[in-house]
Structure 1
Protein backbone atom coordinates (compact mmCIF):
# COMPACT_ATOMS: atom_id res chain seq x y z
CA UNK A 1 0.00 0.00 0.00
CA UNK A 2 2.82 2.38 0.80
CA UNK A 3 4.21 2.02 -2.72
CA UNK A 4 0.93 3.16 -4.30
CA UNK A 5 1.35 6.94 -3.68
CA UNK A 6 4.90 6.80 -4.99
CA UNK A 7 3.72 4.97 -8.13
CA UNK A 8 0.94 7.49 -8.70
CA UNK A 9 3.32 10.37 -8.15
CA UNK A 10 5.73 8.84 -10.65
CA UNK A 11 3.02 8.43 -13.27
CA UNK A 12 1.72 11.91 -12.44
CA UNK A 13 5.07 13.39 -13.31
CA UNK A 14 5.10 11.50 -16.62
CA UNK A 15 1.56 12.68 -17.46
CA UNK A 16 2.59 16.24 -16.63
CA UNK A 17 5.56 15.91 -18.97
CA UNK A 18 3.27 14.63 -21.73
CA UNK A 19 1.03 17.64 -21.17
CA UNK A 20 3.99 20.03 -21.53
CA UNK A 21 5.46 18.45 -24.67
CA UNK A 22 3.08 20.27 -27.11
CA UNK A 23 3.91 23.62 -25.51
CA UNK A 24 7.63 22.88 -25.83
CA UNK A 25 7.19 22.07 -29.51
CA UNK A 26 5.28 25.33 -30.07
CA UNK A 27 8.03 27.23 -28.26
CA UNK A 28 10.87 25.61 -30.22
CA UNK A 29 9.17 25.63 -33.64
CA UNK A 30 10.13 29.23 -34.69
CA UNK A 31 13.82 28.49 -34.08
CA UNK A 32 13.60 25.19 -36.00
CA UNK A 33 11.81 26.90 -38.88
CA UNK A 34 14.44 29.66 -39.12
CA UNK A 35 17.24 27.08 -38.94
CA UNK A 36 15.67 25.03 -41.73
CA UNK A 37 15.02 28.16 -43.82
CA UNK A 38 18.76 28.76 -43.87
CA UNK A 39 19.00 25.71 -46.16
CA UNK A 40 16.06 26.60 -48.43
CA UNK A 41 15.77 28.65 -51.59
CA UNK A 42 14.02 32.00 -51.44
CA UNK A 43 10.90 30.70 -53.21
CA UNK A 44 10.66 27.60 -51.03
CA UNK A 45 10.97 29.66 -47.87
CA UNK A 46 8.21 32.06 -48.91
CA UNK A 47 5.89 29.49 -50.48
CA UNK A 48 6.72 26.34 -48.55
CA UNK A 49 4.31 27.00 -45.70
CA UNK A 50 5.07 25.57 -42.26
CA UNK A 51 7.34 22.80 -43.49
CA UNK A 52 10.66 22.55 -41.64
CA UNK A 53 12.33 20.03 -43.98
CA UNK A 54 13.89 21.63 -47.08
CA UNK A 55 13.10 19.96 -50.40
CA UNK A 56 16.31 21.10 -52.10
CA UNK A 57 19.14 21.63 -49.60
CA UNK A 58 21.44 24.54 -50.44
CA UNK A 59 24.42 26.05 -48.66
CA UNK A 60 24.60 29.12 -50.88
CA UNK A 61 22.79 31.15 -48.20
CA UNK A 62 25.70 30.63 -45.80
CA UNK A 63 28.18 31.65 -48.48
CA UNK A 64 26.31 34.91 -49.05
CA UNK A 65 26.07 35.54 -45.33
CA UNK A 66 29.76 34.83 -44.73
CA UNK A 67 31.30 36.51 -47.76
CA UNK A 68 28.84 38.93 -49.36
CA UNK A 69 27.34 40.20 -46.08
CA UNK A 70 30.82 40.18 -44.48
CA UNK A 71 29.79 37.96 -41.58
CA UNK A 72 33.34 36.62 -41.31
CA UNK A 73 34.66 40.02 -40.24
CA UNK A 74 31.53 40.79 -38.20
CA UNK A 75 31.99 37.54 -36.26
CA UNK A 76 35.51 38.55 -35.21
CA UNK A 77 34.26 41.99 -34.17
CA UNK A 78 31.44 40.42 -32.16
CA UNK A 79 33.84 38.07 -30.34
CA UNK A 80 36.10 40.98 -29.38
CA UNK A 81 33.16 43.15 -28.35
CA UNK A 82 31.41 40.41 -26.33
CA UNK A 83 34.49 39.21 -24.46
CA UNK A 84 35.50 42.81 -23.72
CA UNK A 85 32.09 43.59 -22.25
CA UNK A 86 32.07 40.36 -20.23
CA UNK A 87 35.52 41.10 -18.75
CA UNK A 88 34.64 44.66 -17.70
CA UNK A 89 31.22 43.72 -16.30
CA UNK A 90 32.65 40.80 -14.33
CA UNK A 91 35.33 42.95 -12.69
CA UNK A 92 33.03 45.85 -11.84
CA UNK A 93 29.98 43.84 -10.73
CA UNK A 94 32.05 41.43 -8.63
CA UNK A 95 33.72 44.26 -6.71
CA UNK A 96 30.47 46.19 -6.30
CA UNK A 97 28.59 43.05 -5.25
CA UNK A 98 31.25 42.20 -2.67
CA UNK A 99 31.24 45.72 -1.23
CA UNK A 100 27.44 45.73 -0.94
CA UNK A 101 27.09 42.14 0.21
CA UNK A 102 29.88 42.01 2.81
CA UNK A 103 30.76 45.60 3.60
CA UNK A 104 29.36 47.81 6.37
CA UNK A 105 29.27 51.02 4.40
CA UNK A 106 26.83 53.73 5.36
CA UNK A 107 23.84 54.28 3.11
CA UNK A 108 24.00 50.74 1.74
CA UNK A 109 20.23 50.45 1.38
CA UNK A 110 20.07 53.82 -0.38
CA UNK A 111 22.72 52.70 -2.89
CA UNK A 112 20.83 49.47 -3.57
CA UNK A 113 17.60 51.43 -4.02
CA UNK A 114 19.26 53.78 -6.51
CA UNK A 115 20.70 50.83 -8.42
CA UNK A 116 17.32 49.15 -8.67
CA UNK A 117 15.75 52.43 -9.82
CA UNK A 118 18.23 52.71 -12.71
CA UNK A 119 16.89 49.43 -14.10
CA UNK A 120 13.78 51.28 -15.26
CA UNK A 121 15.66 53.96 -17.21
CA UNK A 122 15.62 53.20 -20.98
CA UNK A 123 18.94 53.03 -22.78
CA UNK A 124 17.87 55.83 -25.11
CA UNK A 125 17.75 58.26 -22.18
CA UNK A 126 21.43 57.77 -21.35
CA UNK A 127 22.94 57.22 -24.80
CA UNK A 128 23.68 60.93 -25.42
CA UNK A 129 25.86 61.54 -22.31
CA UNK A 130 27.55 58.17 -22.83
CA UNK A 131 28.25 59.08 -26.46
CA UNK A 132 29.63 62.49 -25.46
CA UNK A 133 31.91 60.87 -22.88
CA UNK A 134 33.25 58.20 -25.26
CA UNK A 135 33.66 60.78 -28.04
CA UNK A 136 35.56 63.14 -25.74
CA UNK A 137 37.96 60.30 -24.96
CA UNK A 138 38.60 59.92 -28.69
CA UNK A 139 37.21 56.36 -28.71
CA UNK A 140 34.22 56.82 -31.00
CA UNK A 141 34.15 54.51 -34.03
CA UNK A 142 36.32 51.97 -32.20
CA UNK A 143 35.46 48.61 -30.69
CA UNK A 144 37.02 49.67 -27.40
CA UNK A 145 34.68 52.66 -27.28
CA UNK A 146 31.70 50.39 -27.97
CA UNK A 147 32.85 48.05 -25.19
CA UNK A 148 33.07 50.93 -22.71
CA UNK A 149 29.66 52.23 -23.76
CA UNK A 150 28.07 48.81 -23.27
CA UNK A 151 29.90 47.84 -20.08
CA UNK A 152 30.25 51.16 -18.25
CA UNK A 153 26.54 51.74 -17.42
CA UNK A 154 25.49 50.00 -14.22
CA UNK A 155 24.55 46.34 -14.77
CA UNK A 156 22.20 46.05 -11.83
CA UNK A 157 21.16 42.41 -12.22
CA UNK A 158 24.77 41.24 -12.27
CA UNK A 159 25.64 43.31 -9.19
CA UNK A 160 22.62 42.00 -7.29
CA UNK A 161 23.53 38.41 -8.20
CA UNK A 162 27.05 38.85 -6.83
CA UNK A 163 25.73 40.69 -3.77
CA UNK A 164 23.28 37.90 -2.93
CA UNK A 165 25.91 35.21 -3.40
CA UNK A 166 28.57 36.95 -1.32
CA UNK A 167 26.06 37.79 1.41
CA UNK A 168 25.31 34.09 1.87
CA UNK A 169 28.93 33.08 2.47
CA UNK A 170 29.97 32.25 6.06
CA UNK A 171 31.58 35.10 7.99
CA UNK A 172 34.11 32.67 9.44
CA UNK A 173 35.98 32.60 6.11
CA UNK A 174 36.77 36.30 6.30
CA UNK A 175 37.53 36.23 10.01
CA UNK A 176 40.01 33.37 9.60
CA UNK A 177 41.73 35.17 6.73
CA UNK A 178 41.97 38.43 8.67
CA UNK A 179 43.51 36.60 11.62
CA UNK A 180 46.20 35.37 9.21
CA UNK A 181 46.85 38.99 8.21
CA UNK A 182 44.93 39.15 4.92
CA UNK A 183 43.57 42.56 3.95
CA UNK A 184 40.25 43.46 2.33
CA UNK A 185 41.53 43.10 -1.24
CA UNK A 186 43.37 39.86 -0.55
CA UNK A 187 40.30 38.32 1.09
CA UNK A 188 38.27 39.24 -1.98
CA UNK A 189 40.73 38.00 -4.63
CA UNK A 190 42.12 34.92 -2.86
CA UNK A 191 39.10 33.59 -0.95
CA UNK A 192 35.76 35.05 -1.94
CA UNK A 193 36.18 35.30 -5.70
CA UNK A 194 37.43 31.70 -6.20
CA UNK A 195 34.44 30.46 -4.19
CA UNK A 196 32.08 32.45 -6.43
CA UNK A 197 32.72 30.41 -9.59
CA UNK A 198 29.03 29.46 -10.01
CA UNK A 199 27.87 33.08 -9.94
CA UNK A 200 30.75 34.07 -12.22
CA UNK A 201 29.46 31.54 -14.75
CA UNK A 202 25.91 32.89 -14.40
CA UNK A 203 26.96 36.50 -14.89
CA UNK A 204 29.25 35.53 -17.77
CA UNK A 205 26.38 33.81 -19.56
CA UNK A 206 23.93 36.66 -18.96
CA UNK A 207 26.39 39.28 -20.15
CA UNK A 208 27.69 37.28 -23.10
CA UNK A 209 24.20 36.69 -24.51
CA UNK A 210 23.16 40.34 -24.15
CA UNK A 211 26.40 41.68 -25.66
CA UNK A 212 26.46 39.12 -28.48
CA UNK A 213 22.92 40.12 -29.48
CA UNK A 214 23.46 43.85 -28.86
CA UNK A 215 22.30 46.18 -31.62
CA UNK A 216 21.79 49.74 -30.42
CA UNK A 217 25.18 50.38 -28.76
CA UNK A 218 27.33 48.81 -31.54
CA UNK A 219 25.25 50.64 -34.16
CA UNK A 220 25.73 54.07 -32.58
CA UNK A 221 29.43 53.69 -31.83
CA UNK A 222 30.43 52.19 -35.21
CA UNK A 223 28.42 54.44 -37.52
CA UNK A 224 31.58 55.95 -38.95
CA UNK A 225 33.38 52.60 -39.15
CA UNK A 226 31.21 50.02 -40.97
CA UNK A 227 34.04 47.45 -40.89
CA UNK A 228 33.71 47.32 -37.09
CA UNK A 229 30.05 46.32 -37.05
CA UNK A 230 28.94 43.35 -35.00
CA UNK A 231 26.64 40.54 -36.14
CA UNK A 232 23.59 42.23 -34.64
CA UNK A 233 24.19 45.32 -36.76
CA UNK A 234 25.38 43.31 -39.76
CA UNK A 235 21.95 41.68 -40.07
CA UNK A 236 20.81 44.82 -41.83
CA UNK A 237 23.05 43.93 -44.76
CA UNK A 238 20.27 41.65 -45.97
CA UNK A 239 17.73 44.47 -46.16
CA UNK A 240 17.72 46.29 -49.49
CA UNK A 241 15.75 49.32 -50.58
CA UNK A 242 13.11 47.24 -52.34
CA UNK A 243 13.82 43.61 -51.45
CA UNK A 244 15.03 41.52 -48.51
CA UNK A 245 17.24 38.45 -48.72
CA UNK A 246 15.20 36.34 -46.29
CA UNK A 247 17.14 33.11 -46.71
CA UNK A 248 20.44 34.94 -46.31
CA UNK A 249 19.00 36.56 -43.18
CA UNK A 250 18.00 33.13 -41.86
CA UNK A 251 21.51 31.82 -42.52
CA UNK A 252 23.01 34.84 -40.77
CA UNK A 253 20.71 34.33 -37.77
CA UNK A 254 21.67 30.66 -37.67
CA UNK A 255 25.38 31.54 -37.69
CA UNK A 256 24.97 34.12 -34.93
CA UNK A 257 23.02 31.71 -32.70
CA UNK A 258 25.56 28.87 -32.76
CA UNK A 259 28.10 30.52 -30.38
CA UNK A 260 25.32 31.37 -27.90
CA UNK A 261 24.15 27.76 -27.84
CA UNK A 262 27.72 26.52 -27.42
CA UNK A 263 28.46 28.90 -24.53
CA UNK A 264 25.16 28.05 -22.83
CA UNK A 265 25.83 24.31 -23.01
CA UNK A 266 29.34 24.88 -21.65
CA UNK A 267 28.16 27.06 -18.72
CA UNK A 268 24.79 25.42 -18.12
CA UNK A 269 25.75 23.70 -14.87
CA UNK A 270 27.47 26.71 -13.32
CA UNK A 271 24.61 28.91 -14.52
CA UNK A 272 22.02 26.85 -12.60
CA UNK A 273 24.24 26.54 -9.50
CA UNK A 274 25.00 30.25 -9.42
CA UNK A 275 21.38 31.28 -9.92
CA UNK A 276 20.21 28.85 -7.22
CA UNK A 277 22.91 30.05 -4.81
CA UNK A 278 22.09 33.72 -5.34
CA UNK A 279 18.35 33.16 -4.88
CA UNK A 280 18.86 30.96 -1.81
CA UNK A 281 21.03 33.54 -0.09
Structure 2
Protein backbone atom coordinates (compact mmCIF):
# COMPACT_ATOMS: atom_id res chain seq x y z
CA UNK A 1 0.00 0.00 0.00
CA UNK A 2 2.88 2.35 0.78
CA UNK A 3 4.33 2.00 -2.71
CA UNK A 4 0.98 2.98 -4.21
CA UNK A 5 0.94 6.16 -2.12
CA UNK A 6 4.54 6.87 -3.11
CA UNK A 7 3.74 6.39 -6.80
CA UNK A 8 0.75 8.71 -6.58
CA UNK A 9 2.81 11.38 -4.80
CA UNK A 10 5.58 11.09 -7.41
CA UNK A 11 3.08 11.58 -10.23
CA UNK A 12 1.51 14.57 -8.48
CA UNK A 13 4.96 16.05 -7.85
CA UNK A 14 5.95 15.65 -11.50
CA UNK A 15 2.73 17.32 -12.64
CA UNK A 16 3.28 20.11 -10.14
CA UNK A 17 6.90 20.77 -11.15
CA UNK A 18 6.37 20.35 -14.90
CA UNK A 19 5.60 24.06 -15.62
CA UNK A 20 8.84 25.05 -13.92
CA UNK A 21 10.80 22.52 -15.98
CA UNK A 22 9.05 23.75 -19.12
CA UNK A 23 10.13 27.34 -18.43
CA UNK A 24 13.76 26.26 -18.05
CA UNK A 25 13.52 24.18 -21.23
CA UNK A 26 11.91 27.04 -23.17
CA UNK A 27 14.73 29.34 -22.09
CA UNK A 28 17.21 27.41 -24.24
CA UNK A 29 14.96 27.09 -27.29
CA UNK A 30 14.33 29.50 -30.13
CA UNK A 31 10.86 30.92 -30.74
CA UNK A 32 10.07 28.26 -33.34
CA UNK A 33 11.20 25.44 -31.06
CA UNK A 34 8.97 26.64 -28.22
CA UNK A 35 5.78 26.37 -30.25
CA UNK A 36 6.81 23.44 -32.46
CA UNK A 37 8.01 21.35 -29.52
CA UNK A 38 4.67 21.44 -27.72
CA UNK A 39 5.00 19.83 -24.30
CA UNK A 40 8.44 18.41 -25.03
CA UNK A 41 11.18 19.48 -22.65
CA UNK A 42 14.28 18.60 -24.66
CA UNK A 43 15.22 21.20 -27.30
CA UNK A 44 16.56 20.17 -30.69
CA UNK A 45 19.20 22.90 -30.44
CA UNK A 46 20.42 24.61 -27.29
CA UNK A 47 20.29 28.42 -27.49
CA UNK A 48 22.24 29.65 -24.49
CA UNK A 49 22.44 33.07 -26.11
CA UNK A 50 18.91 33.68 -24.82
CA UNK A 51 20.40 34.20 -21.37
CA UNK A 52 23.08 36.60 -22.58
CA UNK A 53 20.42 38.54 -24.48
CA UNK A 54 18.23 38.78 -21.40
CA UNK A 55 21.14 39.61 -19.08
CA UNK A 56 22.92 42.21 -21.20
CA UNK A 57 20.74 43.52 -24.00
CA UNK A 58 17.49 43.63 -22.03
CA UNK A 59 19.21 45.10 -18.99
CA UNK A 60 18.45 42.29 -16.56
CA UNK A 61 21.84 42.67 -14.90
CA UNK A 62 20.71 46.11 -13.72
CA UNK A 63 17.20 44.88 -12.88
CA UNK A 64 18.68 42.06 -10.80
CA UNK A 65 20.71 44.52 -8.71
CA UNK A 66 17.65 46.74 -8.24
CA UNK A 67 15.54 43.79 -7.16
CA UNK A 68 18.13 42.53 -4.69
CA UNK A 69 18.45 45.98 -3.09
CA UNK A 70 14.70 46.49 -2.81
CA UNK A 71 13.98 42.95 -1.61
CA UNK A 72 16.73 42.74 1.03
CA UNK A 73 15.86 46.15 2.49
CA UNK A 74 12.14 45.37 2.50
CA UNK A 75 12.65 42.00 4.19
CA UNK A 76 14.86 43.55 6.89
CA UNK A 77 12.30 46.25 7.69
CA UNK A 78 9.37 43.84 7.69
CA UNK A 79 11.12 41.33 9.99
CA UNK A 80 12.05 43.94 12.62
CA UNK A 81 8.73 45.77 12.45
CA UNK A 82 6.49 42.71 12.48
CA UNK A 83 8.54 40.97 15.17
CA UNK A 84 8.32 44.04 17.42
CA UNK A 85 4.57 44.36 16.81
CA UNK A 86 3.99 40.66 17.45
CA UNK A 87 6.09 40.83 20.61
CA UNK A 88 4.06 43.72 22.04
CA UNK A 89 0.73 42.10 21.15
CA UNK A 90 1.73 38.78 22.69
CA UNK A 91 3.52 39.92 25.85
CA UNK A 92 1.76 43.12 26.89
CA UNK A 93 -1.81 43.58 28.10
CA UNK A 94 -3.27 46.97 27.17
CA UNK A 95 -6.69 48.45 26.55
CA UNK A 96 -7.97 47.78 23.04
CA UNK A 97 -5.65 44.83 22.45
CA UNK A 98 -8.39 42.50 21.23
CA UNK A 99 -9.83 45.24 19.04
CA UNK A 100 -6.39 45.83 17.53
CA UNK A 101 -6.00 42.14 16.71
CA UNK A 102 -9.46 42.12 15.13
CA UNK A 103 -8.69 45.17 13.00
CA UNK A 104 -5.40 43.64 11.87
CA UNK A 105 -7.14 40.41 10.91
CA UNK A 106 -9.84 42.34 9.03
CA UNK A 107 -7.28 44.20 6.92
CA UNK A 108 -6.20 40.90 5.39
CA UNK A 109 -9.40 40.93 3.34
CA UNK A 110 -8.87 44.42 1.89
CA UNK A 111 -7.40 44.38 -1.66
CA UNK A 112 -3.92 45.88 -1.81
CA UNK A 113 -4.81 47.93 -4.88
CA UNK A 114 -7.12 50.15 -2.82
CA UNK A 115 -4.12 51.69 -1.05
CA UNK A 116 -2.06 52.47 -4.15
CA UNK A 117 -3.41 56.01 -4.66
CA UNK A 118 -2.67 57.34 -1.13
CA UNK A 119 0.71 55.57 -1.11
CA UNK A 120 1.70 57.21 -4.40
CA UNK A 121 0.37 60.62 -3.31
CA UNK A 122 2.27 60.46 -0.01
CA UNK A 123 5.45 59.31 -1.73
CA UNK A 124 5.18 62.14 -4.23
CA UNK A 125 4.72 64.73 -1.45
CA UNK A 126 7.77 63.37 0.38
CA UNK A 127 9.83 63.36 -2.82
CA UNK A 128 10.23 59.57 -2.74
CA UNK A 129 8.36 58.71 -5.91
CA UNK A 130 10.54 57.12 -8.62
CA UNK A 131 13.21 56.19 -6.05
CA UNK A 132 14.33 52.90 -4.54
CA UNK A 133 13.77 54.25 -1.03
CA UNK A 134 10.17 55.15 -1.84
CA UNK A 135 9.54 51.70 -3.30
CA UNK A 136 11.12 49.99 -0.28
CA UNK A 137 9.00 51.98 2.18
CA UNK A 138 5.87 51.34 0.12
CA UNK A 139 6.48 47.59 0.06
CA UNK A 140 7.52 47.38 3.72
CA UNK A 141 4.83 49.74 4.98
CA UNK A 142 1.91 47.41 4.35
CA UNK A 143 0.05 45.56 7.08
CA UNK A 144 1.92 42.24 6.77
CA UNK A 145 -0.69 40.92 9.20
CA UNK A 146 0.23 37.27 8.69
CA UNK A 147 3.80 37.97 9.80
CA UNK A 148 2.64 39.92 12.87
CA UNK A 149 0.30 37.10 13.92
CA UNK A 150 3.00 34.47 13.35
CA UNK A 151 5.35 36.31 15.68
CA UNK A 152 2.58 36.96 18.21
CA UNK A 153 1.69 33.27 18.33
CA UNK A 154 5.33 32.32 18.87
CA UNK A 155 6.14 34.92 21.52
CA UNK A 156 2.98 34.01 23.47
CA UNK A 157 4.44 30.56 24.15
CA UNK A 158 7.72 31.79 25.67
CA UNK A 159 7.83 31.58 29.51
CA UNK A 160 7.58 34.94 31.27
CA UNK A 161 10.46 33.97 33.54
CA UNK A 162 12.83 34.62 30.65
CA UNK A 163 11.80 38.27 30.46
CA UNK A 164 11.80 38.62 34.24
CA UNK A 165 15.38 37.37 34.37
CA UNK A 166 16.35 39.91 31.70
CA UNK A 167 14.72 42.73 33.69
CA UNK A 168 16.60 41.66 36.82
CA UNK A 169 19.84 41.90 34.82
CA UNK A 170 18.91 45.47 33.89
CA UNK A 171 17.75 44.86 30.30
CA UNK A 172 15.18 47.26 28.88
CA UNK A 173 12.63 46.67 26.14
CA UNK A 174 15.04 47.05 23.22
CA UNK A 175 17.75 44.86 24.71
CA UNK A 176 15.27 42.16 25.75
CA UNK A 177 13.72 42.15 22.30
CA UNK A 178 16.86 42.23 20.15
CA UNK A 179 19.18 40.14 22.36
CA UNK A 180 16.73 37.50 23.65
CA UNK A 181 13.35 37.36 21.94
CA UNK A 182 14.25 37.94 18.30
CA UNK A 183 17.08 35.34 18.25
CA UNK A 184 14.69 32.77 19.76
CA UNK A 185 12.22 33.27 16.91
CA UNK A 186 14.54 31.78 14.28
CA UNK A 187 11.99 29.43 12.62
CA UNK A 188 9.31 32.13 12.50
CA UNK A 189 11.82 34.64 11.14
CA UNK A 190 12.83 32.18 8.42
CA UNK A 191 9.16 31.76 7.49
CA UNK A 192 8.58 35.51 7.37
CA UNK A 193 11.78 36.01 5.35
CA UNK A 194 10.70 33.45 2.74
CA UNK A 195 7.14 34.76 2.45
CA UNK A 196 8.21 38.41 2.33
CA UNK A 197 11.03 37.64 -0.10
CA UNK A 198 8.60 35.90 -2.47
CA UNK A 199 6.01 38.67 -2.25
CA UNK A 200 8.57 41.45 -2.77
CA UNK A 201 10.64 39.71 -5.45
CA UNK A 202 7.57 38.94 -7.55
CA UNK A 203 5.65 42.16 -6.86
CA UNK A 204 4.66 43.89 -10.07
CA UNK A 205 2.11 46.60 -9.31
CA UNK A 206 4.04 48.87 -6.93
CA UNK A 207 7.39 48.60 -8.78
CA UNK A 208 5.58 49.42 -12.04
CA UNK A 209 4.11 52.60 -10.54
CA UNK A 210 7.32 53.66 -8.79
CA UNK A 211 9.59 53.04 -11.81
CA UNK A 212 7.26 54.01 -14.63
CA UNK A 213 9.19 57.17 -15.54
CA UNK A 214 12.61 55.85 -14.46
CA UNK A 215 13.34 52.63 -16.42
CA UNK A 216 16.78 52.23 -14.81
CA UNK A 217 15.09 51.63 -11.43
CA UNK A 218 12.94 48.75 -12.69
CA UNK A 219 12.85 45.42 -10.91
CA UNK A 220 12.88 42.03 -12.59
CA UNK A 221 9.10 41.67 -12.62
CA UNK A 222 8.67 44.99 -14.41
CA UNK A 223 11.67 44.35 -16.64
CA UNK A 224 9.81 41.44 -18.23
CA UNK A 225 7.89 44.04 -20.21
CA UNK A 226 11.03 44.65 -22.26
CA UNK A 227 10.37 41.41 -24.16
CA UNK A 228 6.83 42.39 -25.16
CA UNK A 229 6.54 44.51 -28.27
CA UNK A 230 3.53 46.07 -29.93
CA UNK A 231 3.17 43.33 -32.51
CA UNK A 232 5.35 40.50 -31.21
CA UNK A 233 6.84 38.96 -28.08
CA UNK A 234 10.32 37.51 -27.61
CA UNK A 235 9.15 34.29 -25.94
CA UNK A 236 12.56 32.64 -25.70
CA UNK A 237 14.10 35.77 -24.16
CA UNK A 238 11.12 36.06 -21.82
CA UNK A 239 11.58 32.45 -20.69
CA UNK A 240 15.29 33.06 -20.07
CA UNK A 241 14.49 36.19 -18.07
CA UNK A 242 11.89 34.29 -16.04
CA UNK A 243 14.43 31.55 -15.34
CA UNK A 244 16.97 34.11 -14.12
CA UNK A 245 14.40 35.62 -11.77
CA UNK A 246 13.42 32.19 -10.41
CA UNK A 247 16.92 31.02 -9.49
CA UNK A 248 17.38 33.25 -6.38
CA UNK A 249 13.94 32.23 -5.10
CA UNK A 250 14.72 28.53 -5.47
CA UNK A 251 18.11 28.98 -3.82
CA UNK A 252 16.61 30.82 -0.84
CA UNK A 253 13.90 28.21 -0.34
CA UNK A 254 16.41 25.36 -0.48
CA UNK A 255 18.56 27.08 2.17
CA UNK A 256 15.66 27.90 4.50
CA UNK A 257 13.20 25.09 3.80
CA UNK A 258 13.79 23.28 7.11
CA UNK A 259 13.30 26.45 9.16
CA UNK A 260 10.35 27.42 6.96
CA UNK A 261 8.56 24.14 7.65
CA UNK A 262 9.35 24.39 11.38
CA UNK A 263 7.96 27.91 11.49
CA UNK A 264 4.73 26.96 9.71
CA UNK A 265 4.32 23.88 11.90
CA UNK A 266 4.87 25.95 15.05
CA UNK A 267 2.37 28.58 13.91
CA UNK A 268 -0.27 25.95 13.18
CA UNK A 269 0.35 24.28 16.54
CA UNK A 270 -0.01 27.57 18.41
- TM-score, scaled to structure 1: 0.93
Give the secondary-structure state (helix, strand or coil) at the position aligned to 1:220. Answer: helix
Query: What residue in structure 2 maps to residue 247 of structure 1?
Result: 236
Query: What residue in structure 2 maps to residue 15 of structure 1?
Result: 4
- Counterpart CA distance in 1 for 2:152 and 2:211 is 34
Q: CA deviation at 1:184?
A: 2.4
CA shift digits 1:100-128 (9 cap, x unpaired): 11111211111111011111111111101
Q: CA deviation at 1:25?
A: 1.2
1:194 pairs with 2:155: no
Native 8 Å contact 1:164 1:279 kept in 2: no
Give the secondary-structure state (helix, strand or coil) at the position aligned to 2:171. Answer: coil
Query: What residue in structure 1 maps to residue 102 of structure 2?
Result: 113
Q: CA deviation at 1:46?
A: 1.0
Query: What residue in structure 1 maps to residue 37 of structure 2?
Result: 48
Q: Which of 104, 112, 127 is 1:138 aligned to?
A: 127
Q: CA deviation at 1:179?
A: 2.6
1:273 pairs with 2:227: no
- Counterpart CA distance in 1 for 2:267 and 2:155 is 8
Query: What residue in structure 1 maps to residue 62 of structure 2?
Result: 73
Query: What residue in structure 2 maps to residue 126 of structure 1?
Result: 115
Q: CA deviation at 1:176?
A: 1.9
Give the secondary-structure state (helix, strand or coil) at the position aligned to 1:140. Answer: coil
Query: What residue in structure 2 maps to residue 97 of structure 1?
Result: 86
Q: CA deviation at 1:209?
A: 0.9
Query: What residue in structure 1 maps to residue 26 of structure 2?
Result: 37
Aligned-CA RMSD value: 1.1
Q: CA deviation at 1:186?
A: 2.1
Query: What residue in structure 2 maps to residue 3 of structure 1?
Result: none
Q: Which runs of 5+ in 1 are unaligned?
A: 1-11
Q: CA deviation at 1:182?
A: 2.2
Question: Quick check: 172-181 or 200-209, which moved more?
Answer: 172-181
Query: What residue in structure 2 maps to residue 217 of structure 1?
Result: 206
Give the secondary-structure state (helix, strand or coil) at the position aligned to 1:114. Answer: helix
Q: Which of 197, 217, 222 is 1:233 aligned to?
A: 222
Query: What residue in structure 1 maps to residue 155 of structure 2?
Result: 166
Query: What residue in structure 2 maps to residue 206 of structure 1?
Result: 195
- Counterpart CA distance in 2 for 1:25 and 1:278 is 29
CA shift digits 1:17-64 (9 cap, x unpaired): 112221111111111111101011110111111110111011111111
Q: Which runs of 5+ in 2 are unaligned?
A: none
Q: CA deviation at 1:154?
A: 1.0
Counting matched residue pairs gives 270
Give the secondary-structure state (helix, strand or coil) at the position aligned to 1:203. Answer: helix
CA shift digits 1:56-93 (9 cap, x unpaired): 01111111111121101000000001001101101110
- TM-score, scaled to structure 2: 0.97
Q: CA deviation at 1:178?
A: 2.0
Q: Which of 239, 246, 251 is 1:262 aligned to?
A: 251
Query: What residue in structure 1 maps to residue 48 of structure 2?
Result: 59
- Counterpart CA distance in 2 for 1:149 and 1:183 is 31
Seen in structure 2, the aligned counterparts of structure 1 residues 150 and 173 have a Cα distance that, compared at 3 Å, is: same
- Counterpart CA distance in 2 for 1:116 and 1:83 is 26
Give the secondary-structure state (helix, strand or coil) at the position aligned to 2:29. Answer: coil
Q: CA deviation at 1:150?
A: 0.7
Give the secondary-structure state (helix, strand or coil) at the position aligned to 2:109. Answer: coil
